[in-house]
Amino acid sequence: MVFFRLSPVPGSGLVVLCLILGAISSYALELNLTNSKNATCLYAKWRMNFTIGYETTSKSNKTVTISDLGNATYNGSICGDDQNGPKIEVQFGSVFSWTVNFTKEKSTYLIESISFSYDTNDSTTFPDAKKKGIFTVHEPVAFRIPLNDIFRCNSMLTAEKKDVIQHYWDVHVQAFVQNGTVSTKEFLCDKDKTSTTVVPVTPTTLPSPTTTPAQKEKPEIGSYSVNNTNGTCLLATMGLQLNMTQDKVVTVINIKPNTTDFTGSCHSQTALLRLNGSNIKYLDFVFAVKNENRFYLKEVNVSMYLVNGSVFSIANNNLSYWDAPLGSSYMCNKEQTVSVSGAFQINTFYLRVQPFNVIEGKYSTAQDCSADEDNFLVPIAVGAALAGVLILVLLIYLIGLKHHHTGYEQF
């Protein structure tokens, strides 16, 4: 069980959400098909679930939902040859099967159609089904993708036909993989391009630098904490956006708090907050104490899974961010960037952290990053003070003059 505390404004009324992750997330399916030379010809990773409605012998309607696809097999999936195109076949149990086929065109390939079959003869899955037999729904898809691009759709795609509702999301698929190397060039579904909801992966993988895709989404704010035997010892509330550059390809990922786990540890001189999620093997924030009276972010150590299966890792233990006195918290509502390396940076939003001296699970007074900015106000303040002094001098002079004058009269 994992606890998340989410709050729209850092530090304000925390809502405690208790998520049993395993019960919510459905399984990602993954297939890496190789040809006779052991080179990848088709790669796919995706999530799906189904809802099937059927009529019972007592004339009522029932629905069956399938979302736990952990025990799927992929028998019948083929790379394709001159006669047949590539095909993914998935079986779950003996009751359900699912097929998608692909065809190649001149410079594109097509996700041609999807078929889904279910067997109502199985009385444990379909108790009292009135009509018994194998039913199949065909869904023409016709997604056209440039050859050598990987299709990606994190958004939800829904197909509803006859008695079956199909949901697909977090889809990554490439057929006709060239030279056995899965492409890093993503071809997005329209929904991902225009999506106003936060998607976990939003790459700016476009050849032309003039095309800036809609990806200014801010990340959701997550609340993270670490406990030791004395209770909560580290608190962090922040929206996190990761920006990595690899082979000149920039990938921006918003961390989704409710699908991200966190752990950590607290010591007297260092504290660690570690996040992990489906794309993130680990993302470590290491805090340290300096001069015995201040803390700061000293190290970030990250390891991420890329779409094509390889791992991206970077660490820097010579950072100096989020500096504040011990016994207080550090806060920064505006967007800030932690530059870990030339190839990896973290954009933070509505940040508040306290890695040491947390009392009763609550943040202590905050040192705000905008205090740094007050320095810009200094010249203005000095100017204003000077003007004040000038006016004062002038006043004294005038009063003095008047005094002098009256003095003369009295004389």
- Residues near ligand NAG, by CB under 6 A: 3, 24, 32, 34, 38, 40, 43, 49, 51, 65, 67, 73, 75, 84-85, 101, 103, 112-113, 115, 138, 148, 167, 178-179, 181-182, 184, 227-232, 243, 245-247, 249-250, 252, 258-259, 261, 276-278, 301, 306, 308-310, 315, 317, 345, 347, 361
Length of the chain equals 411
Q: Which two tokens stand for residue 30?
A: 């993954």
Report the residue number, 188 or 367, with the smaller CB distance to ligand NAG. 188
Least distance CB 399 / ligand NAG (angstroms): 59
Residue placing its CB nearer to ligand NAG in the complex, 34 or 328: 34
- CB of 302 vs ligand NAG, minimal distance in Å: 8
Q: Which of 159, 146, 162, 160 is nearest to 205 (CA)?
A: 146
Cβ-closest position to ligand NAG:
309
Pairing of strands 270-276, 261-266: antiparallel
Q: How far is the CB of 393 from ligand NAG (least distance, A)?
A: 51
The amino acid at 39: A
Centroid of chain to Cα 33: 28
User: Considering the complex, what minimum distance in angstroms separates the CB of residue 246 from ligand NAG?
Assistant: 4
Residue pair 348/338 in contact by the 8 Å Cβ criterion = yes
In angstroms, rounded to a whole number, what is the distance separating the alpha carbons of residues 361 and 225?
9
Radius of gyration of the chain measured on its C-alpha atoms: 30
Judged by beta carbon, residue 57 or residue 212, the one nearer ligand NAG is: 212
- Both tokens of residue 268? 């007297």
- Nearer Cβ to ligand NAG, position 208 or 230? 230
Distance, CA of 375 to CA of 385 (rounded, Å): 15
Residue whose CB is less far from ligand NAG, 90 or 369: 90
Report residue 289 as tokens.
């104490």
Residue 373: CB minimum distance to ligand NAG, A:
21
Residue 386 C-beta: closest distance to ligand NAG, Å? 41
DSSP secondary structure code for residue 128 in this structure: T
Of residues 259 and 328, the one with the C-beta less far from ligand NAG: 259
Please give the C-alpha separations between residue 305 and each of 107, 115, 308, 344, in angstroms, as whole numbers.
29, 30, 8, 14
